Structure 1
Amino acid sequence: MRFSSTALLVACMASSASAFAPRQAPRTTTAVYQSTAAASDTEEERKMRKKDDRLRMMKSDQFHRRGFKEVREQVEDTMSEQFKSELVEQFKENNYVIDKDGVKVYLAKDFGFCWGVERSIALAYEAVEHFPDKTVHITNELIHNPEVNDNLSDMNVQFIEKIDGDAARKDFEKVKDGDVVILPAFGASYEEMDMLDKKNVEIVDTTCPWVSKVWNTVDMHQKKGLTSIIHGKYAHEETVATVSFCEDYICVKDMKEAEMVVDYIVNGGDKEAFMKYFKNAISEGFDPDTMLTKVGLANQTTMYKKETRAIGQLFQKAMMKKYGPVDAKSHYMEFDTICDATQERQDAVHDLVENAETLGLDFILVVGGWDSSNTAHLLEIPVKAGIRAFHINKAECIGADNTITHRNMEGEIVTDTLVEDLSKDVVMGVTSGASTPDAAVQSSLGNIFMLKQLQEAN
């Protein structure tokens, strides 16, 4: 086991904004490669095309989304070796509790890899094995987990570079005829899929079916003449893909931004300030005076479940207030696009939080990629409840000097004391994001067990 006593020197900028202050990190809302839609197309034809185009692309002989059976058993063995954990199996056999070396650990009862992530990894690994003599590219990180993406790099998968760090703009110049291109679990934008469809490349689609469900929802919005309200982070890879299947949209990252949009719907306001604030989170040609009269809600699948539902209620009430209870139904539409796995992991952390005092928890450890949205939301639950909690992306974040380098709710990477009193037994909870292998949890807990062993040895 690797054990680092040196704090990780990582800086992570977190955006914050007062009302109508411009949002940070500007980006374009279109990918480098544009759709080849004809300029003469009617609005209805444009709205119909994107989903139909996607379904047509998926029927191509060079489009693969079911994997490759001849290498499946080999890939299953590889994944088991890389990601499984004997310690986690012990948790499951012992009612999700382990008491070891002066550390008592309660494991959340839903945690770690979801089936969509496992499917995505399996498809990517199978693609590498199935096309051994071809150059294999991937349009983004497969998932937000450092170990998994490092494994793909070790397998010589080429990560397509973002231009100026923008998830919507990438350099595809290195993709040549006959190459293989993997689409990650977050999906790929319509523009990327359209461009790749016109190239002579093999496409391996690992998009999570829950993400595809959101795309179907926004497609329905567009066909019904609704503007899509996307509860998500506008620069996140999944949201970039989702909005590419929209004509009219606006992204809200949290309740505060949703309230800003609702206030404009009900009361109007300073249009220039509104447009300035949301300039990176709206469709081209967006007009809040005409495009917020009829709206539909969808979400980035990894967002905080309760917040998405609260935002939906907020918009529903706003439309009732503006148009009356009867007419409101034609001005607002909502479908449940919250991922089951995300919801289950959030509920399991809620259980730990609600029983924290009874269990005597000193803190809760959240393990998962720092860029992982679903993992970040697991951190929010204990922190907002006033419980010490730390989000780490790998075991090396836990130092031998009893420090922990972690990502806080503001997105900053900071270093703090982990165990406040090492002379006493440690009682802690632990969970992991949907893109986190069990082996990462075992390694992280192993470093905490070692801390206690070192303290007792001294």
Structure 2
Amino acid sequence: MQTTKTSRKAAFTGIKSRVHVVVLRPVQASRALVPVVQSVAAGATEAAKVDGRALRRSLNQTGRYVRQPTNDPVSQQLMDEHGVGYSTNGLVAQMRNDGNIWKQGTVTVKLAKAYGYCWGVERAVRMAYEARQAHPDKKLFVTNEIIHNPEVNKRLKEMNIEIIEDEGDGKDYSQIGNGDVVIFPAFGATVKELSDFRDKGVQMVDTTCPWVAKVWNSVDTHTRKQYTSVIHGKYSHEETIATASFASNYVIVKDLKEAQYVCDYILHGGNKEEFLAKFSKAVSKGFDPDTMLDRVGLANQTTMLKGETEQIGKMLEATMMQKYGPAELNNHFLLMETICDATQERQDALYDMVADPEVDFLIVVGGFNSSNTSHLQEIAEHKGLPSFWVDSAARIDVEKNTVLHKLAHGELRETVGWLTPGKPVTIGITSGASTPDRAVEEVLAKVFKIYDPNFTGIAPKDCGRLATPEEH
């Protein structure tokens, strides 16, 4: 698509840049999966017939189901080699052990206090690598991108692990047969997918994040107790599609504005046709707002803003209390603790960073289809701090001193002369929860190379492994 160039003032003092929208250059990255809306409806229909907890218990009884990593040392070694785990001897590991600060010539880098891989994501990647080691001669498939990171998904494909992509008409699982291995990604799989693969006789490796599974438990409770699930999330996101499949009745709200609309409808009623049109892609099949909003429970997509989910919960609680009275609140509103702290910790750390007067600009590293990474970029933009969101080091051209980066609302831009060699600068850097440390290290290596053409890399130094939560 041809576009016209537009210029603006330099984003920060000392840097002369021209910003313009460009035609995308090819970059090695996995195509983003956009699930079709029918996936939600199909999952909801199945949930009405299947007890979610009973289904998940039945998976254990097959003898073909794995849902815990084995901490295989060979897989760990390969993850280290591919750079898809936590850094143990690279720049990020060294920064982690030295106050999250690094000085390289005239460049000072500040790493956010909370950044990068969350425990559930690292766990999912580990289990995919372990699956390949455990089944070296079998066909392996993932029912979606394992996580939202192009490099990680590229590595899986290189290991002959096929990612089933939606080409617009749903996913084609016909190529998967008995004896094959199917990996469910960190976002989870729908009730229908779990049921179908259980009955198909395949080996199942379930890497679903335990925090996502905790949300499923809450939604399953809503179903059993006949509450409608109000899900704070994005209706087209893989995780929300899976979560909705465990609910018999649900409405998905993406933000406070949509939540307020639902609350107003609960209190005052309204135009049913308008409601159903507004949430046409975000409600269960046969949803009736006039009869299905008298008892509601709250659930969430784990990558959404924690504070926003909490606020929606308070709105629903106040609405039900106003309509039915305090004595009847528990009969009309159900709240279970399902919020994952990892997303919020990264956001809180970024709020601290954008308030740091020493930081000249920010680099955000993470997949362009990553929901939690987009929120990090959004924070920087709202605070007025110049920020460059890249999904990999491939977006940076050292010789031309250019960067192809994404804005929070989705626009891709190329900034020319984004760095000014010779001038001291302090750069803040963070990464999304699906971003391995190696991606951050590769981005910084290119930054250092632009400032110093003689830069040859950071000498490795063993810093030990990052402690992770115990699995229960």
TM-score, length-normalised on structure 1? 0.86
1:382 counterpart = 2:408: no
> 3-state DSSP class of the match of 1:76?
helix
Amino acid at match of 1:79: M
1:234 counterpart = 2:229: no
Q: Is the 8 A contact 2:229 2:247 kept in 1?
A: yes
Amino acid at match of 2:426: V
How far apart, CA to CA, are the structure 1 residues paired with 2:315 and 2:66?
Answer: 41
1:27 counterpart = 2:37: yes
TM-fit CA distance, 1:34: 9.5
> 3-state DSSP class of the match of 1:289?
coil
- Please name the residue that 1:398 is paired with: 396
Amino acid at match of 1:62: R
- Please name the residue that 1:217 is paired with: 218
Amino acid at match of 2:37: R
TM-fit CA distance, 1:418: 6.6
Superposition map of 1:48-447 within 5 A: 49-68=51-70, 72-83=72-83, 84=87, 86-164=90-168, 169-354=170-355, 356-357=356-357, 360-400=358-398, 401-417=400-416, 419=418, 421-447=420-446
Describe the superposition over 1:362-392 as per-residue Cα deviations: whole angstroms up to 9, x where unpaired.
2121111111112112222222222222221
Q: Is the 8 A contact 1:368 1:393 kept in 2?
A: yes
How far apart, CA to CA, are the structure 2 residues paired with 1:274 and 1:147?
Answer: 41
How far apart, CA to CA, are the structure 1 residues paired with 2:411 and 2:44?
Answer: 35
How far apart, CA to CA, are the structure 1 residues paired with 2:254 and 2:334?
Answer: 19
Describe the superposition over 1:133-171 as per-residue Cα deviations: whole angstroms up to 9, x where unpaired.
11111101101111110000000111113140x7xx311
Q: Quick check: 391-400 or 318-327, which moved more?
A: 318-327
Gapped regions of structure 2 (runs ≥ 5): 1-21, 28-33, 456-472
How far apart, CA to CA, are the structure 1 residues paired with 2:43 and 2:290?
Answer: 30
CA shift in 2, pair 1:312/1:366, >3 Å: same
How far apart, CA to CA, are the structure 2 residues paired with 1:61 and 1:116?
Answer: 24
Q: Is the 8 A contact 2:185 2:207 kept in 1?
A: yes
> 3-state DSSP class of the match of 2:291?
helix
CA shift in 2, pair 1:270/1:93, >3 Å: same
Gapped regions of structure 1 (runs ≥ 5): 1-5, 12-23, 38-42
> 3-state DSSP class of the match of 2:452?
helix
- Please name the residue that 1:19 is paired with: none
TM-fit CA distance, 1:266: 2.0
How far apart, CA to CA, are the structure 1 residues paired with 2:439 and 2:368?
Answer: 13
Describe the superposition over 1:3-22 as per-residue Cα deviations: whole angstroms up to 9, x where unpaired.
xxx984489xxxxxxxxxxx
How far apart, CA to CA, are the structure 2 residues paired with 1:189 and 1:378?
Answer: 28
TM-fit CA distance, 1:244: 0.5
Aligned length: 423
CA shift in 2, pair 1:183/1:394, >3 Å: same
Q: Quick check: 402-411 or 117-126, which moved more?
A: 402-411
TM-fit CA distance, 1:26: 6.6
Q: Is the 8 A contact 1:33 1:195 kept in 2?
A: no
How far apart, CA to CA, are the structure 2 residues paired with 1:32 and 1:137?
Answer: 21
Aligned-residue sequence identity (percent) comes to 45
Amino acid at match of 1:54: R
TM-fit CA distance, 1:122: 1.2
How far apart, CA to CA, are the structure 1 residues paired with 2:430 and 2:188?
Answer: 26
How far apart, CA to CA, are the structure 2 residues paired with 1:236 and 1:250?
Answer: 14
Describe the superposition over 1:225-248 as per-residue Cα deviations: whole angstroms up to 9, x where unpaired.
211011111111111110000000
TM-fit CA distance, 1:324: 2.6
Amino acid at match of 1:51: R
CA shift in 2, pair 1:31/1:61, >3 Å: farther
Amino acid at match of 1:63: Y
How far apart, CA to CA, are the structure 2 residues paired with 1:310 and 1:36?
Answer: 31
How far apart, CA to CA, are the structure 2 residues paired with 1:266 and 1:438?
Answer: 48
CA shift in 2, pair 1:275/1:31, >3 Å: closer
CA shift in 2, pair 1:327/1:386, >3 Å: farther
Describe the superposition over 1:291-338 as per-residue Cα deviations: whole angstroms up to 9, x where unpaired.
111111110011111111121122222222222333233222222212
Q: Is the 8 A contact 1:403 1:417 kept in 2?
A: yes
Q: Quick check: 187-196 or 311-320, which moved more?
A: 311-320
TM-score, length-normalised on structure 2? 0.84
How far apart, CA to CA, are the structure 2 residues paired with 1:262 and 1:388?
Answer: 37
Amino acid at match of 2:340: C
- Please name the residue that 1:15 is paired with: none
Amino acid at match of 1:390: F
Amino acid at match of 2:382: K
CA shift in 2, pair 1:292/1:29, >3 Å: farther
Describe the superposition over 1:185-215 as per-residue Cα deviations: whole angstroms up to 9, x where unpaired.
1111000010001112111111111110000
Amino acid at match of 2:179: G
Question: RMSD value over aligned CA atoms?
Answer: 2.5
How far apart, CA to CA, are the structure 2 residues paired with 1:141 and 1:56?
Answer: 25
Q: Quick check: 252-261 or 439-448, which moved more?
A: 252-261
Q: Is the 8 A contact 1:123 1:206 kept in 2?
A: yes
TM-fit CA distance, 1:116: 1.2
How far apart, CA to CA, are the structure 1 residues paired with 2:374 and 2:297?
Answer: 26
Q: Is the 8 A contact 1:114 1:434 kept in 2?
A: yes
